[in-house]
Each structure stands twice: as C-alpha cells, then as structure tokens.
Amino acid sequence: MTRTLHRAVRQRRLNWLAWVVALLPLLAALPFAGRAALHEPAAMLNWLGRLAGISALSFLLVAAILSCRVPGFDRPFGGLTKLWRTHHLLGATAFLFALLHPLLLSLAAGGASLGAAADTLLPPAGDRGSWLGWIALLAMMGFLAPSFAFFGEPRYQRWHSLHRLAAVAVLAALVHTLLFSRTIPEPWNTGIWFVLATAAVASVAWRLVFSRRTSRLRYRVERVARPASSVVELTLRPEGPHLAYLPGQFVYLTPYDESLAAGNREEHPYTLSSAPAEPCLRVVIKDIGAASRAIQSIQSGSEVRVEGPYGDFFPRRDVGSSELWIAGGIGITPFLGRLRQLAGARETLDAQLIYCVQDESRAHFADELARLVASVPGMRLTIHYFCREGPLTRRFLQQHCPDFAERRAYLCGPEPLQRIARDLLSAAAVGRQQIVTEEFSLL
C-alpha cells in the first residue's frame, strides 16, 4: 500500500472516529431502557425524546471540539477544509436532534393531557432548566441558519460573528442536560459529559480567547505587487518568530490598518504563495468581497497578524510518483508556492500543470509560471483558455497529459471547475484517494 493510500485511509478513519465519539453517550444510554419504554407508546416517545436530547448535546460538543483550529491539528484529518466539513455535518445533526427533543417529549406528555404537552413545549417561567434548553436551541438556530443554502450565501464576517453564539448553545445545553439527566446512570453520566464538555470548552476558549494572544504572529507589509487589476501579492516581513509551513498551506491574515475601507482587524483565510525557505511570507489576495477589495489598497508598512498554518494540500509524495495539477483562476496560488519551492531547492518532479482561465488577462503569474516550470525538470505547463476551448474536457486532458488517469491529481479553483475535473477523473477510473482538492467555503 502506497503512502498516498495509507494517508487517505487514515484521514477517513479519523473523520469517522469523530462520529463514533459523538454517538458514545447514545450507546451508553441504550442498555438502560426500561420495559415501559419498549412497550408503552407514551413511554417510548419519552425515551426517544431523551435520547434525542443526549445526542443533540454530544454532537454539539464534538462539533465544538473540532472547531478549535489549533495549527497542525487539522492535517491528520486532511486539512482544515475537510475537518470543518465534518464539523458542519456534526453541527447540523445536533440541530436536528435538538429539534426532535422537545417535540418527542411533548408528544409523550400529550398522552396524559393537552395541557401537559403544552407545558412541555412552553414551560412555566420559573422552570429555568427547561428554558435553558430553549436558549440552547435558539442559539443553535442563530449560528447555524446562515450555513444552510436556503438562506443564501452569507457575508463572511456576519457568519463568523454569529458563530460566537455556539459558546452560548454549548453552555446552556450542558447545564440543561445535567439538570434533567436521568437516562445514563452514574458514574457514567458525569464521566462522559465531563470529558466531552471539558474538551469542548477548552476548544472554544482557545478559538475565541487564547489563540488571539498566543498563536498570531506579527508581520509587516514590505511590498505590494499587482500582478493583475484585481489581484495583489503581499510580501510580509516577520517582526518576531517566522511562520513554519509547507507549500500549499494557508493562513488566517488579520490586517491592522485603520485606513482600510473594510476588513480592518478582520481575519480571512489566504493561501501562501511563497516557498517555505523564503525569509518573508507572500500571500495572493483577489478582490472577491468587501474585505479583500479593501486590502487591494493596503499600504507598505502596515501591520498584519498571521495565524496558522493550516491545510494539507501537498503531502509527502511517493517515490517516483507522477502528478496532475489542475488550477483555475486564483486557485493557482498553492501551485505557485510549490513551484517556487521546487525551483529554489532544485528538485525534479514529473507533473503536468493545467491552468484554466477565462482569457489571457486572467492568467495570473503566467510569465513567472513559465520560468519556474522551465527550471524544474519534469514539469510541464499548459494554459486552458475557456474563451477559446470552452469547459475542460477529457479530450483536452488526453491531448496534453495522455497518462492523466494514472497520476495523482491536485485540484484548486472555482467549484464549477473542480466539479468538472472530478467528473472527468472519475470517468477515467481515477480513485477518490488519488484526487486531492482544496476549496474555501466558510472557514
């Protein structure tokens, strides 16, 4: 088994492990169902309602644990994007269980009277424990709603701010569960929730408080290059410890520049375009939102803070392996960083880079890419122009890389291009473990 396959299997197991941990409280409760819960409808609904509440809290806590964003923690999971995809799914599952919890309990109480069912849904004002459960559910609605496509594409910073409600949801749900917990017997009840809650609170505290003070490195903008009208490449000089990173990784960058029209003191993820051996960092930023548009005018000398690195786009390659790189638009950035690293280290690599752009004006760094490719033995570059050739096709891949189906593929660019490329590779029987993608959803 190659290193590549070992890595894919390990990533899949770790992501599944998160789901297993989230299910542990539910599995611990199942053996203690009474006879009534198995034979009487009202008791069964009550039992299912309590199990839904247990599951809602456990999935929420594990989702909170995965949100810690400690640099390096994400790499065994396949990078921060893949780790947070699991985080998002766990959070959505917790939300569904949280909705089922009061509904099932109310249906169970309805067997006694409609008043009992109403009191379950809308408890008396003095029932603080029950109201804490509602506070947790409403907080979950507040920070999860923008994640659903129904509400449209949210503004990044608003989504980022709303996610602070997760701390409220975690604490309220935990206290609510401890006040009413009678499903899992002691000492298992206290032990399970103590371990999960401690890890979740520590993760939230790291994310919201300590990471800002301990893991953000100070840099100063030394140079602002403009390879295109809507793109800047910032060269950042360290004012203290220099960030250690691998080609293709990304950072969260926070500018401290009061003159910016937007984005001042706001963190956003950007891929590093520099090689790890360079004394400064280089970051490419395209105008795709209010903050990235404002940073196009950032001045040399401005202070920025950098947190990271994150991602696992380019792992250690197998000896003698061959690669296919497919980039689109600003998705050329991680490949640019790796090419700079290969050229600087005078390494060789059997790789074909296909750079997909709309037209010549969108081929960012085309001249430098050609020079870098020429200096790396085994590298080849082909630029695909959509205005001339239309969408990427299997015929185009075969023409410029006849053995593309036998190569490990790396994809980075707009989602439509990645979808087309994945479909073409899958149709050519390229396995999922041989396709590595990097995309930025809300991070």
Domain coordinates in residue numbering, the chain = 3-214, 221-310, 322-438
| pLDDT reported for residue 325 | 96
| pLDDT reported for residue 442 | 47
Residue recorded with tokens 């459960």: 133
Residue recorded with tokens 């247990």: 54
CATH architecture for the domain at 221-310: Beta Barrel (2.40)
| pLDDT reported for residue 35 | 61
- What's the full length of the chain, in residues? 443
Residue recorded with tokens 């029209």: 261
| pLDDT reported for residue 423 | 94
Angle ∠(73,76,79) on CA atoms, nearest 5: 75
| pLDDT reported for residue 1 | 39
* Fold that domain 322-438 belongs to in CATH: Rossmann fold (3.40.50)
User: How many of the other CB atoms lie within 10 Å of CB of 186?
Assistant: 8
Distance, CA of 241 to CA of 275 (rounded, Å) = 17
Q: What are the respective helix, strand and coil percentages of the chain, to the nearest 5?
A: 55, 15, 30
| pLDDT reported for residue 7 | 67
Strands of the sheet containing 379-385, edge to edge, are 379-385, 350-357, 322-328, 408-412, 435-438
Q: Using H for helix, E for strand and C for coil, what is the string for 26-45? A: HHHHHHHCCHHHHHCHHHHH
pLDDT tens across the length of the chain (443 residues): 355 556 667 778 888 999 999 999 999 888 876 665 667 888 888 889 989 999 999 999 999 999 888 888 888 888 888 888 899 899 989 999 999 999 998 998 887 677 777 877 788 877 888 888 888 888 888 777 666 655 555 566 666 677 777 778 888 888 888 888 777 888 888 889 999 999 988 887 887 778 877 889 999 999 999 988 889 999 999 999 999 999 999 999 999 999 998 889 988 899 999 999 999 999 999 988 888 999 999 999 999 999 999 998 887 665 568 999 999 989 999 999 999 999 999 999 999 999 999 988 788 899 999 999 999 999 999 999 998 999 999 999 999 999 999 999 999 999 999 999 999 999 999 988 889 888 765 44
| pLDDT reported for residue 246 | 93
| pLDDT reported for residue 441 | 55
| pLDDT reported for residue 146 | 64
Distance, CA of 37 to CA of 56 (rounded, Å) = 20
362 half-sphere exposure, CB direction, 13 A CA radius: 17
Which CATH number is 3-214's, of 1.10.357, 1.20.950, 2.60.120, 1.20.120?
Answer: 1.20.120
Instruction: Give the orientation angle of helix 3-29 with respect to helix 80-109, to 10 degrees.
Output: 20
